[in-house]
Amino acid sequence: MDKMAKVIAVRSLRHYFTRSMRFWSVVLFLLLLPATQAQDAPAPGTALGITRHMSIPLNGLLLFDQVASAWKWTFGNEPGGKVLLSDRENGILEGTARINFRSAILPGREESMGTIAYHVKFQIHAGECAAIVSSLVHTGNKNAHRRAVNMGQLMRNEDQVTHAIGMSHIFTVKLHAELRTLAETRINALLQNMEARIRADLED
């Protein structure tokens, strides 16, 4: 093989391996991409949320009026309770409220004393209403002598709780459990009272 043929052969091999490397690099990137995205994305369903579905024999507009009226006597009476959106035509009612909190089981209650704020949305259609409560966030006492203990977003399970600044992990878990129990108990009671009030109005 003369010198020119060798040069051509080397260039051909170099071109072949370069293209192969590019091809397999793209394949490897595409294979790893879903895993990378899954790792960066937050795990679904970890934040605490409360839902309730009500089946009530009314058309959409009348049911919306009943929900809006019941709001005034339930969530509307809670601390900070206010309506953010009232869309009768599309059957959407949204608002916020909060729950006042003071720990009954932990020392250092002054720092954790505060509120659990939350967002509630009602999706109303003919014969049914779905209540969705989300964004339950605990804020500690800003006026405490020591730094406030803020749990932040409440989670579904204690094993998903992050360590609170100024508290051991054991007390963090206990505090979160107390907050979650209070939030679930209070909000479920409000939703139950709302449904009972609507049904009582239908019987009158």
State yes or no: pLDDT of 30 exceeds 60.
Answer: no
- Considering only the C-alpha atoms of the chain, give the largest distance between any 2 of them, rounded to a whole number of Å: 106
- Same domain (yes/no): 31, 66: no
The mean pLDDT of the chain is: 80
All residues at 6 or more sequence positions from 190 whose CB lies less than 8 Å from its CB, including other chains: 74, 75, 78
- Name the residue range of residue 56's domain: 50-203
State yes or no: pLDDT of 199 exceeds 90.
Answer: yes
Q: Which residue has the higher pLDDT, 150 or 85?
A: 85
All residues at 6 or more sequence positions from 100 whose CB lies less than 8 Å from its CB, including other chains: 79, 114, 115
Count how many domains the chain has: 2
- Same domain (yes/no): 149, 87: yes
Picking from 157, 201, 166, 197, the residue whose alpha carbon sits closest to that of residue 74 is 197
Question: Quick one: pLDDT at residue 17?
Answer: 44
Q: Which residue has the higher pLDDT, 168 or 1?
A: 168
Mean pLDDT (whole number) for 51-63? 96
- Same domain (yes/no): 129, 108: yes
| First-residue to last-residue Cα distance in the chain | 104
Q: Which of 30-39, 104-113, 145-154 has the highest mean pLDDT?
A: 145-154
Amino acid at 164: A
All residues at 6 or more sequence positions from 82 whose CB lies less than 8 Å from its CB, including other chains: 76, 95, 96, 97
Picking from 192, 197, 183, the residue whose alpha carbon sits closest to that of residue 98 is 183
- Same domain (yes/no): 56, 143: yes
- Same domain (yes/no): 29, 80: no
Q: What is the CATH number of the domain that holds 166?
A: 3.30.530.80
pTM higher than 0.85: no
Structure token digits, residue 64: 């919306």
- Same domain (yes/no): 27, 106: no
Question: Quick one: pLDDT at residue 106?
Answer: 72
- Same domain (yes/no): 115, 59: yes
Q: How confident is the model at residue 202 (pLDDT cuts 50, 70, 90)?
A: confident
Mean pLDDT (whole number) for 78-85? 98
Mean pLDDT (whole number) for 4-27? 48
- Same domain (yes/no): 34, 54: no
State yes or no: pLDDT of 69 exceeds 60.
Answer: yes
- Same domain (yes/no): 11, 58: no
Question: Quick one: pLDDT at residue 79?
Answer: 97
Question: Quick one: pLDDT at residue 12?
Answer: 56
- Same domain (yes/no): 68, 101: yes
- Same domain (yes/no): 22, 57: no
Ordered DSSP codes for 97-136: EEEEE--SS-S-HHHH-EEEEEEEEEEEETTEEEEEEEEE
Work out the angle at residue 172's Cα, subtended by the Cα atoms of residues 167 and 176, and round it to the nearest 5 degrees: 145
Question: Quick one: pLDDT at residue 105?
Answer: 78
Using DSSP's 3-state secondary structure scheme, residue 164 falls into coil
